[in-house]
Structures are given as C-alpha cells and as structure tokens.
Amino acid sequence: MNLGTILILLAIGLSAGVFGGMVGLGGGVIMIPAMVYFLGISMQSAQGTSLAVMLPPVGLMAVMNYYKAGQMNFKYAAIIAIAFFIGGYFGSKIALSVSPDKMKKIFAVALMLIAVNMFIKK
C-alpha cells in the first residue's frame, strides 16, 4: 500500500468520523462512495469494508458523548441493534448477488429518495 492510498484512507476515515459524530452519517454516505470513487473498489467491497470499519468501534466515542448529554435511548438502540444484526445478514446476501453496476444504481436511488424526503418534509 502506497502513501497516497494511506492518505486517502485516513481522509475517508476522518470525514466519516466527523459526519458520523455530527449527524449520524458516515458508513453509507461517506465511506462507501469515497472508496468506490477514490480507491476504485467495487460497491460490494466498499460495503463490506465499511461494515468492517464500524464493527469494532461502532462510534464508541460519539456514543459516549451522546450518553453523557442524556441523548441516548438504550431500549430503542437494543431493539434496533437486534433487527440490524438480522437485517445485515440478509442484506449482505442480497447485495452480493447483485452486479456492482446495479448495486451502484440502487445505492444512488436510495440516497436520492432519502435526501428528497428529508428536504420536503418539515
């Protein structure tokens, strides 16, 4: 791995960390597109790498700050985490069966729908 790649990886991680801690965006919105476009890896590889990045820390430092501020609902988090665990298994199976080109399009449409919905609704 060369210095340029290491610098790109550090920039991706720092950007994802800042956005993750600030507005809850990091893995899907920052890391995946950045790895695809700046490192030239496939959507599936970027998705797997993004999940691997989040597996150990899962935003531990950001979670600590939200907890200290009284802005965390552990019951909601536990229920969502269980469903996410199961959904992640099935979602990865589906993603790995889809072509990289089709996966890029699905990802782009999902981001656009989320953005439009957030922009329109109050």
Nearest alpha carbon to residue 31 among 18, 98, 77: 18
Question: Which pLDDT does position 38 carry in this prediction?
Answer: 92
| pLDDT tens digits for range 58-99 | 667 777 888 899 888 788 878 877 887 888 888 888 888 989
| pLDDT tens digits for range 29-44 | 888 888 888 999 988 8
Question: Which pLDDT does position 13 carry in this prediction?
Answer: 87
Question: Which pLDDT does position 55 carry in this prediction?
Answer: 67
**Domain ranges, residue 75:** 3-120
Between residues 101 and 87, the one the model is more confident about: 101
How many domains does the chain contain in total? 1
Question: Which pLDDT does position 48 carry in this prediction?
Answer: 83
